[in-house]
Amino acid sequence: MIREDARGRRAVIVADYLVNPGSAFYAAISGRPGPVLDVLVEDGWGMMKPPPHILGESVGQPAASTMAGDAVDYLRHKYCVVILAVDGLPQGGVWLDLFEQAFRELGAPMPPVARVRLDGSDATGTADGVRAALAAASRAVAEA
């Protein structure tokens, strides 16, 4: 029997850059995201974080395949799963193409993608903006 516990029943597949923007791997990226990790922690999101997008597809493909499988199982059991990508980074910084392929192979739709901008041109540089982007993606999951 499934018994309730403290889990929030919502998870986000999140770009490594949004969790580790200060990494040495990202020295060439000029923009910095808003407080994404703070929002995820404070708002009770579970993270599914692939490795850094600068690594090769030999790393990204198996990670995307495993995470897509997990996501499909969550969605089957009525959890909310969304993707949080970065505008301006290749494949959103989260191997969106590999995730599309992985979900297609599983016969499942890709979860909604929320996007964070790094250039300050919209509200996603703020906590409220990140929350709004995630809320919009979550609504799309609920309506699917």
Partner 1 sequence: MPESSRRVAYVAHCLVNQNAKVSEFAKCAGVVAPLVERLRANGYEIQQLPCPEMSYLGVVRWWQSREQYDTPGYRRHCRSLARTVVDTVAVHVQHDYDVVIIGLDGSPSSGVRLTSTKASWGGRPEGAVSGGSDRTAGMGVWMTELKNEFESRGMAFPRATGIAMDAQDFDMQASMDEMDGFLAAQKEPA
Q: Applying CB under 8 A, which residues contact partner 1?
A: 2-3, 5-11, 16, 19-20, 22-25, 27, 37, 40-41, 43-49, 51, 55, 58-59, 62-63, 66-67, 69-70, 73-74, 77, 79
Least gap, CB of 107 to partner 1 (angstroms):
16
- Which residues are 48's β-sheet partners? 13
For partner 1, the closer CB: 23 or 90: 23
SS3 138: helix
Burial 62-79 (b: 16+ CB within 10 A, else e): ebbbebbeebbebbeeeb
Are 46 and 82 spatial neighbours (Cβ–Cβ below 8 Å)?
no
- Tokens 């770009």 locate to 15
For partner 1, the closer CB: 70 or 122: 70
Least gap, CB of 88 to partner 1 (angstroms):
21
Least gap, CB of 73 to partner 1 (angstroms):
4
Nearest alpha carbon to residue 10 among 82, 102, 100, 94? 82
For partner 1, the closer CB: 40 or 96: 40
For partner 1, the closer CB: 38 or 119: 38
Least gap, CB of 131 to partner 1 (angstroms):
14
Residues in the chain: 144
* Helix, strand, coil distribution of the chain in percent, nearest 5: 45, 15, 40
